[in-house]
Structure 1
């Protein structure tokens, strides 16, 4: 939390309501006042500023994992190198080539090493999903993701290998509502029209084809304890949404003589390109809107979006923990991931109050209703995990929507 050495994700600790963390991040208090103490060699005490019913769920996030301070101080930005890093898991990092691969080998000093089965795991970075699929089918990989649109064919051909299951993730586009965002997007009618005109059913059934679900709320239905509210535009037929979109855009002053034009940004990916292309075609055909597509590599994309140097940009979020606030906190005014700079005093108050409620669902429903009315983002779909997986690889937690999986729990059985 020390602002001098803070992680880009230090804001997560503020969400956890850790004592004094907000003041320390802001440089108003000394890091020694953080509400975290080692009581003894085996006991960690964390003090909160308020009751947080889902606190235990939040510690599954990597931001909360222990790091040896002396190693960071000794090696600086080289502390994560395999020869320097000190970790406490079932495996140790033995090789790391950025943007290529990482290798982890069994840690004989791990407290429960006797239960570990797999000796070594290798993670490869393959940016082309089709190339990854080719390597999987050649027997070079044990798991990979299925490229958009290919799941039905693969499931028929490899029924024991192709898998689809719900994920705790959303896919959306965010409007730039900051001061330097397009003037057109400051009109809620424009934002609503663009959202209404997107036929989500076409995207999930004709483009993705992997078990994804159309999204009319920001929070996925797979979220524990969350009940998807009946937001008004989600209850319309697509024909009704299209008609409403045409009327709204005309009311806002856009039409054949004054077409709406903007740039649409996404990070480089064949699937993202397909989705953006289909969305822009829908807007063109239904509304006469001209959306110019642009893609960027991931790092540049994040920097550009974070600097509000965009009109409309792709967004996605996979839950840090299994509770609706992991999604809805993103649209709070102070969120570090609120790149569209949407700000609503009502949303902020509802989310602050929800932190201490035994049952915050009424607040979450109200926030989703605000989002459906104000439309700061266009929810597109909620994810499915769509994998090709070696049938001999066992114990993968497909029922875990967060996909918190650990190599130590996996094992491989002999093939036929």
Structure 2
């Protein structure tokens, strides 16, 4: 009898303990709809935001953006800058570790930055680090890796020397190209170092599973220096480029975050729950580059005529329901150091007047009614909004010039890979979001030596000379003036047709806490939590 009572009491005690423990034992899992499959997790090769969202959870740079989009210390706890603005000295956190428990050292950053600039790496974003002394020379094979201006002073002190003062250098270091990689893992695993079980990171999370085109799972990194403040146990990224499917899964409670949903759903979604719909103006431009290597797009008259005839107000207001702004400049408005961007001479005309002038230009170039037939292939990455824009633009060109326009779409990874690898095209859809808040980051897209992101292969020695001059100018006002002169050439030659300024579109479930809207579109999972 006594034994039976003891067992009964023990069972009650164990049961109550288990009940009390169950909330604490429940995993905090965030389900992120990520809008597409990443091409790579190798930070030297990444180029698009859906890759950056993942990579920045796995690795931490010297600086990071917080939830509100402000630059804050990351792997570096502090830094100093020399009086001439050329030498940055970073103190790494004493408790900064890799996910395997080994210390993060200054030599890790030296190794990683040398790897990015090594011509053998063929890093598409190598130019991001060009402000560092000898970076461009190293990248072009004109200097040795050891001559790159990065130095390990001691295990926790990193010194970076620049070619010239660079006002945006601290912001630039938050870019994924400046993220460190683990030298030991890379030397052991080679290209496989980004695979689950082999990837050694220094970020808040570590990679455990990647099933291409299905999901990618990261879990909390117990060796992260700030692990005590990371509230999520696991984040699962879903590379769903079908926006309708994303929204359906979100509304079914299967996804907690969705990036880039179809804008025609905004009114319905806001009616259901306005707090969950986040539309944030972005330092980003939606544009169409022309391939200047191919006829007739090597003719400035044709490019200007095609750009003129696009009704940007229709695209922004009818297709995107006012969540984008019609623009005529590559550099977005709102950059404090730059001011109002330069516009082409036709920007102030009415749409009807623009179309009349466009027809005249096209006839002068020998195309359109009574001239040679105008056949255009318009490429875009698979997305309902991009398809609607492409269809509308094709209709505008057909009505204005009698053009025959065929549409071609690829998934986001294949689309950008084709453009970045120099594939020939007629007109393509592209978008650019600021890597740092400076006009140079947009104008550099048209520098002839930018083989990765100058999709249309525009070449203008005068433009290149102005950009080169801007890098040497230390006076902010004089530098801004030079950049305006450079943009005026882009506005004149129209190697690209800027169409709209972007907005970041997110769906954020009520249970997601710590979310901050910001124009940089930076949303590290380390700042988020789940409240059930």
**Which TM-score applies when normalising by structure 1?**
0.93
Residue 333 of structure 1: how far off its partner (Å)? 1.2
The equivalent residue for 1:200 is 312
Q: Where do residues 167-206 of structure 1 align in structure 2 (5 Å cutoff)?
A: 167-178=282-293, 181-182=294-295, 184-206=296-318
Residues 1:403 and 2:515 aligned together: no
Given candidates 352, 355, 377, the residue that maps to 2:496 is 377
**Helix, strand or coil at the partner of 2:353:** helix
- Which consecutive unaligned segments of at least 5 residues does structure 1 have? none
Pairwise CA distance, 1:322: 1.7
Measured after TM superposition, the shift of residue 161 of structure 1 is 1.1
CA contact (8 A) 1:101 1:123 kept: yes
* Cα distance between partner residues in 1 of 2:227 and 2:406: 54
Structure 1 residue aligned with 2:379: 265
The equivalent position to 1:293 in structure 2, one of 404, 407, 412, is: 407
> In terms of mean alpha carbon deviation, does 64-73 or 230-239 score higher?
230-239
1:107-161: CA deviations, max 9, x gaps? 2221112222222111111010100000000011111132132212222232111
1:210-225 matches, cutoff 5 A: 211-225=323-337
Aligned-CA RMSD value: 1.8
**Per-residue deviation, residues 33-83 of structure 1 (Å, max 9, x unmatched):** 211111112111111111212111111101101111121110011111121
Q: Which moved more, 1:217-226 or 1:387-396?
A: 217-226
How big is the shift at 1:210? 5.2
Q: How does 1:10-409 map to 2 (within 5 A)?
A: 10-14=126-130, 17-144=131-258, 145-178=260-293, 181-182=294-295, 184-209=296-321, 211-229=323-341, 231=343, 232-258=345-371, 259-305=373-419, 306-335=421-450, 336-355=452-471, 356-357=473-474, 358-359=476-477, 360-398=479-517, 400-409=518-527
SS in 2 for 1:56: helix
Q: Quote the Cα distance in structure 1 between the aligned partners of 2:223 and 2:251.
A: 36
Conservation of the 8 A alpha-carbon contact between 1:397 and 1:403: no
Question: Contact 2:359–2:400 at 8 Å: present in 1 too?
Answer: yes
Which blocks of at least 5 consecutive residues in structure 2 are unaligned?
A: 1-116
Judge conservation of contact 1:330–1:338 (CA < 8 Å) in 2: yes
Q: Distance in 2 between matches of 1:20 and 1:96?
A: 37
Structure-1 separation of matches of 2:150 and 2:212:
33
Equivalent residues of 1:189, 1:249 under 8 A apart: yes
Counterpart Cα distance in 1 of 2:120 and 2:342: 45
Aligned length: 408
- Aligned 8 A contact 2:118 2:145 in 1: yes
Preserved CA contact (<8 Å) 1:218 1:327: yes
Would you say the 8 A contact 2:332–2:341 is kept in 1? no
Q: How far apart are the structure 2 equivalents of 1:354 and 1:326?
A: 12
Report if the CA contact (8 A) 1:224-1:324 is conserved. Answer: no
Whole-angstrom CA distance in 1 between matches of 2:165 and 2:453: 24
